A = this chain, B = another copy of it.
Amino acid sequence: MDHAALDLSLDASALTARLVDFPSVSGDEKALADAVEQALRTLPHLTVDRYGNNVVARTNLGRAERVVLAGHLDTVPIADNVPSRLDDDGYLWGCGTSDMKSGVAVQLRIAATVPEPNRDLTFVFYDNEEVAAHLNGLGHVAEAHPDWLAGDFAVLLEPSSGQVEGGCQGTLRVLLHTQGERAHSARSWMGSNAIHTAAPILARLAAYEPRRPVIDGLEYREGLNAVRIEGGVAGNVIPDACTVTVNFRYAPDRSEAEALAHVREVFADCGVSELVVDDHSAAALPGLSHPAAVAFMEAVGGTAMPKFGWTDVSRFSALGVPAVNYGPGDPLLAHKRDERVLASLVDDCAERLRGWLTA
């Protein structure tokens, strides 16, 4: 198959099929990044920048607002599901159809067919989204060239079944350690049982009532959960250590510092000998009250939903750019062997964005 050129005259669904047939598993995005860069450089209304395998293209029309459309080029490993195929019901099957070559196709289609948008546009194509956070291309661009990502509002074309998902919840993981003293279990009174000491931690978790705050009209649902517990030395030894790993998913009205302070407070009197932060990613506000977002919601229709899982919208939020997820893929099919997308939804998504940007 000739991967040399991407034909941007195809409609978004047909372009999705071409992109799926152009493998770009995480770490192996160079050829596709080359092709995307080359295709965009043929469009005279765009200036194109590149950093690694990340490509950024912008209009410079001096509009009052700038909107960012972003998507990742990589996919999870192929699972016997490339090349793509279109079935009789109008579904396009294959690796990345949902997550998120359909979104990338919509980006490219808008880039090619909206030379005079009502808002300045920035198109971001990045690598390594499906792997460890430190490899993420959007993060690398944000660090090296934050100005490339500047804007009033961002749309991440991650799979959301054509629904707008606003902001995202934060996620904090802490290790709660308890301490005891070893002894032979036949003489347990000589020691102190660290697993028993963890009893108030589990009781607190079991009794915890998570908040459901409404922010920008979206109801978020927090959660505080043990995701792991470990303790024990041998079948006849009183254990001297136990660790409960707790994951706090929190709404975007809490800052990182507030989220951690809350967790410290919840477990303040539960016998914790040490609290260690294992991982922390901030929440992102939905920003749906921004004029660009209001117009966007009107154009694409439907009701915005809160995003519970953590996504790259948080990276835009950290740069001061309110962001939402909105893409044609189905998030429940992402990463699956039977991944597919409804072709008509891909074209519909492109049309709605075009409507918003040309009204």
Contacts and interface: CB of A to CB of B under 8 A. Distances in A.
A20 to B, nearest CB: 25
A146 B203 CA distance: 51
B230 A187 contact: no
A188 interface: yes
Contacts of A188: 210, 223, 225, 249
B227 A185 contact: yes
- Among A195, A230, A242, A249, max chain B CB count under 10 A is at A195
Q: Interface majority SS on A: helix, strand, loop or mixed?
A: mixed
B186 A196 contact: no
Nearest to A231: B229
B236 A232 contact: no
Given A203-B203, A235-B173, A226 B195 contact: yes
Interface residues of A, number: 47
Contacts of A244: 195
B279 A235 contact: yes
B308 A187 contact: yes
Interface of A: 169, 171, 173, 184-189, 193, 195-199, 202-203, 205-206, 210, 221, 223, 225-239, 242, 244-245, 247, 249, 278-279, 308-310
A226 B186 contact: no
Contacts of A189: 221, 223
Given A189-B223, A199-B199, A226-B231, 15 more contacts: A185-B247, A186-B249, A186-B309, A187-B221, A187-B223, A187-B308, A188-B249, A195-B205, A199-B202, A199-B203, A202-B202, A203-B203, A226-B239, A227-B235, A228-B239
A230 B232 CA distance: 9
21 contacts: A171-B186, A185-B223, A186-B249, A186-B308, A189-B221, A193-B205, A193-B225, A195-B202, A195-B244, A196-B205, A199-B199, A199-B203, A199-B206, A203-B203, A226-B239, A227-B238, A229-B229, A229-B230, A229-B232, A229-B242, A235-B278
Contacts of A236: 171, 227, 247
A232 to B, nearest CB: 3
A247 B228 contact: no
Contacts of A223: 185-189
Contact of A238 (B185, B195, B225): B225
Contacts of A247: 185, 235-236
A308 B236 CA distance: 12
Nearest to A203: B199
Which of A173, A196, A221 has its CB near the most chain B CB atoms (within 10 A)? A196
A227 B239 contact: yes
A185 B232 contact: no
Contacts of A278: 235
A225 B196 CA distance: 8
A193 B202 CA distance: 11
Contacts of A169: 186
B310 A226 contact: no
A196 B202 contact: yes
A171 to B, nearest CB: 7
